[in-house]
Amino acid sequence: MISIRNLRFSYGGGAFSLTVPELHIGAGEKVAIIGPSGVGKTTLAALIAGILTPQRGQVVVDGVDLAREPDHRRRNFRIAQIGFVFQEFELVEYLCVRDNILLPYYLNDTLALTPAVRQTAESLAGSMRLGDKLRRYPRTLSQGEKQRVAICRALATSPKLLIADEPTGNLDPQTAQVILELLIEEVRRRGATLVMVTHNHHLLEAFDRTVDIEAFAGGGA
Amino acid sequence: MKNVLRLAWRYVAYHKAKTVILTVCLMLTAMLPLAAHLLISTYGESLTARARATPLVIGAKGNRFDLVLKALYFSKAHVEPVHMRTVDAINDGGLALPIPLHLRYTARGYPVVGTTLDYFDFRGLRVVRGTGLRALGEAVLGAEVARREGLGPGDSIYSDQSNIYDISKTYPLKMHIVGVLAETGTPDDEAVFVDLKSTWIIDGIIHGHADVVKNPNPAVVLKKEKENVVTNAAIVEYHEVTPENIKYFHMHGERADLPLSAIIVVPHDRKSATIFKAHFASSKTERVLVPAKVVQELLGLVFRVKRFFDANFALITVSTALFLVLVVMLSYRLRKREMETMYKIGCSRRMTFWLQAAELGIVLVMGLGLAGVVAIGIVQAVPYFVHGL
């Protein structure tokens, strides 16, 4: 599913650089990326999603070398094939739960918003115990509910790959456990690949594999 | 584009206070210049059209704007009177048709226009209900007066009391409505037309009372000398003209001295108009005006004032635009993270730009649309608030 070779990335003018000699993640695998703060976990997630492009090396996702694709193709690929869950939820405050879940369909014309899609989104919300909150706005939701909405949004396009960047970082341990279980259950049910950035070692048991980014040569600031 | 508009609408609908403030701000900025422009173009056109249709106006020397506004638009401005002898002189001259106007009074706030039947022909006024004026004390209503007051043939209307504290003044005259005119979209729609003599009855110059010569009432007779009878104030005057009492209406004094507000003059041809104007040029008490020129001059003054306001509005528009730019810039900074999230999900940078542009566009459309509606409302409402300019 994901194949990274000789990757090197640095932000313009900064001292930070990320080097990943080789990393392969198979389809349907659930991988946790760990490492101390500032080591480049989020940067790696952004490189896998095609949000950032490396100065050197390859990032191939589902057979597509994202580093060689222009921005519009990377966006179209990302919105259709990759779901993204953020640490801060990043819900749109002026949209209700239903519209937040359907946001990818509003943002990119390559996705068709059909009645079937709406139906799927509603049943997805139901499976995340949000069925009675579809008309509510983010400000009225708890932290756990907000993250569940964010997971629904990431899964709404039925992506093959789900990237979660510390999705439990802002949650209490109990809620974090519940969210992780829901996330893994949905990913397993869909046969999707999960790449999750975390520094919470208590959650690692739920994953097939752990990648410590600090172990890569040249990693770290 | 549909999705951009959908998201933009959700944004403006969610942030109600911000949207309302910006919309009202835009509305107030755009509404006044728009209303001023609409008012001037609408009323400028109708003022000019009526002035062009009126060849000449004669009146007492004084403010030329007041005289033209009085004669053409029945304004409340005070003008010094001219007299019937001028009408007689014009008739005798044979150069033009004089149409006398006596415009001192109102009925239910509408101007009472005392004139002759020539006025109806001159303005092309047509009776759509009832009949035209036939006798003393009758009235024909303009279409708007009839509609607003719910009056028609068979009803009656009183002239307004000019001074309620002075009991020595004449009482209001009860006028019998005999007809309603077709709508013309001119000041004629908002006037009550009567025969010239009826306005002199309201003046008290023509009056009617019981015959104290043939049937003297001792209670009112102070002195009797041959045919001349002097009465006291107890004598009852008629305040309504009926078939029974019409024969008792009379006047004391000369017909030539009867007052008029203005005279519309329709020369028979161009040459007659020139001679006519030359004839009145030397008059010490009266003046001849070409209404089209006076109205043009008046509009020129209005446009000069408007230019000043336009400059003011331009400054306000610039400050509002700067205020909007500030709001957009602050909004952009506050929403940078939201836009970044949209980009990460798969939205293009162009779409995030259009999303914010559409939000501003919706507010602009609402503000300017509201300004347009209010401005049109003001133009429509002006006639209800401003009777007779």
**Is residue B211 assigned to a domain?**
yes
User: How much is the pLDDT for B109?
Assistant: 92
Class of A2-215 in CATH: alpha beta
Structural domain range at position B360: 2-46+299-385
Name the residue ranges covered by the structural domains of chain A: 2-215
Do B61 and B40 lie in one domain? The reply is no
Phi-psi region of A200 (alpha: psi -120 to 50; beta: other; left: phi over 0): beta
B117 and B261 together in one domain = yes
Q: Which residues of A touch B341 (CB under 8 A)?
A: 86, 90, 92
From CA A103, how far away is CA B176, in angstroms rounded? 73
Which residues make beta-bridge pairs with B188?
none
Residue of A nearest to B13 (CA): A94
Reported in sequence order, the residue ranges of chain B that DSSP labels E, i.e. its strands, are 56-60, 82-83, 96-107, 110-115, 127-130, 138-141, 156-158, 174-181, 192-195, 206-208, 221-225, 228-231, 249-251, 259-260, 262-267, 286-289
Domain end, chosen from B289, B309, B331, is at B289
Domain match, B8 and B71 both: no
Residues B15 and B164 in one domain: no
Burial A4-26 (b: 16+ CB within 10 A, else e): beebebbeeeeeebbbbeebebe
Among the candidates B247, B266, B289, a domain finishes at: B289
Its ipTM equals 0.85
Contact criterion met (CB < 8 Å) for B345 and A92: no
Amino acid identity of B100? Answer: P
Residue B241 placed within a domain: yes
The per-residue pLDDT for range B351-384, each reduced to its tens digit, is 888 999 999 999 999 999 999 999 999 888 876 6
Tokens describing residue B144: 């708007």
CB contact under 8 A, B348 and A72: yes
Cα separation, B220 vs B232, in Å, equals 5
Per CB-CB distance under 8 Å, the chain B contacts of A113 are: 3
Indicate the residue type of A40. Answer: G
Contact A103 B15 (CB under 8 A): no
- DSSP string over B133-179: --STTEEEE-HHHHHHHT--TT-EEEPPPS-TT-TTSPPPPEEEEEE
Residues B18 and B114 in one domain: no
Same domain, B381 and B336: yes
Say if the Cβ atoms of B338 and A49 lie within 8 Å: no
B326 CA to chain A: closest CA distance, Å? 22
Which of B234, B265, B289 is a domain's end point?
Answer: B289
Q: Are residues B136 and B217 in the same domain?
A: yes
For residue A3, the cross-strand partners are A24, A60
Q: How far is CA A140 from CA A1, A88, A92, B109, B293, in A?
A: 38, 16, 13, 60, 70
One domain, residues B148 and B172: yes
> Choosing among A92, A96, A197, which should be mutated to test the B contact, i.e. which has the most B CBs within 10 A?
A92
Residue B206 pLDDT greater than 90, yes or no = no
Distance from CA of B27 to the nearest CA of A (A): 25
Query: What is the predicted pLDDT for the residue at A221?
Result: 33
Name the domain count of chain B.
2
Q: State whether A51 and B3 contact (CB < 8 Å).
A: no
Specify the amino acid at residue B116: T
> Rounded to an integer, what distance in angstroms lies between the CA atom of residue B154 and that of residue B177?
6
Tens digit of pLDDT for each residue in B54-82? 999 999 998 999 999 999 999 988 999 99
Query: B352 and B265: one domain?
Result: no
- Asked whether residue B160 falls in the same domain as residue B280, the answer is yes
B51 in a domain, yes or no? no
- B25–chain A nearest CA distance, Å: 23
Rounded distance between C-alpha atoms, residue A68 and residue A57, angstroms: 10
Residues B114 and B132 in one domain: yes
pLDDT the model gives residue B145? 95
Q: Which positions in chain B touch A72 (Cβ < 8 Å)? A: 348
Query: Does B315 fall in a domain?
Result: yes
- For A162-186, what is each residue's pLDDT tens digit? 999 988 887 788 888 888 888 888 8
Query: Distance from B360 to chain A by nearest Cα, in Å?
Result: 16
A interface mutation test: which of B345, B353, B359, B362 has the most A CBs within 10 A?
Answer: B345
In a domain, B340, yes or no: yes
Residue of B nearest to A111 (CA): B346
Say yes or no: B67 and B145 in one domain.
Answer: yes
Facing B15 at nearest CB: one of A46, A76, A94 = A94
